[in-house]
Amino acid sequence: MVSDPKTPSPTEAWAWIEDLAAGDPAAVCAGATSTELPLATRDRSAVALPVVLHYCQKYTAAEHVFAKHRVPGDFFKCDGAPMPFDAAALIADLAVHEKGSKLQSTPLRTAFLLCHLIPLVNRALAAYQRDVCAHSDLVH
């Protein structure tokens, strides 16, 4: 499980994310789109990753913000728009946080969360619109 990008505690699986990023920090977001997870996480047998994203924090980077209490109560609606997402901006933001040859852990962890949470929520919206809105008799 991962949750708080600022925690120094080894009880969260951040070491796995830092291992993923060791050769290339962009790996935490590379290939992600507004509805697709990053390439490195699509093959679950390729790399050890946490299976729970406990999104109880506010995650902010590169003009992206995800906080569960900021998701509109009517987000899941037939004419709802997905959350804005730009993986390239998040990857570029990682370079800003390098000190020498070392990337600070909090921005890396935050990018990982944003590159997973936003596509997952947007996928859920797309599934809702496909499954519920296509059947107008189910919408009240």
Q: State pTM to two decimals.
A: 0.90
pLDDT at 45 over 90: no
Q: Counting beta carbons within 10 angstroms of the beta carbon of residue 66, is it exposed (0 to 12), middle (13 to 18) or buried (19 or more)?
A: buried
Written as one letter, the residue type at 138 is L
Would you state the pLDDT for residue 135?
A: 72
- 56-85 pLDDT tens trace: 889 999 999 999 888 898 999 999 999 999
Gyration radius of the chain's alpha carbons: 16
Average pLDDT of the residues of the chain? 89
Distance CA 66, CA 55 (A): 9
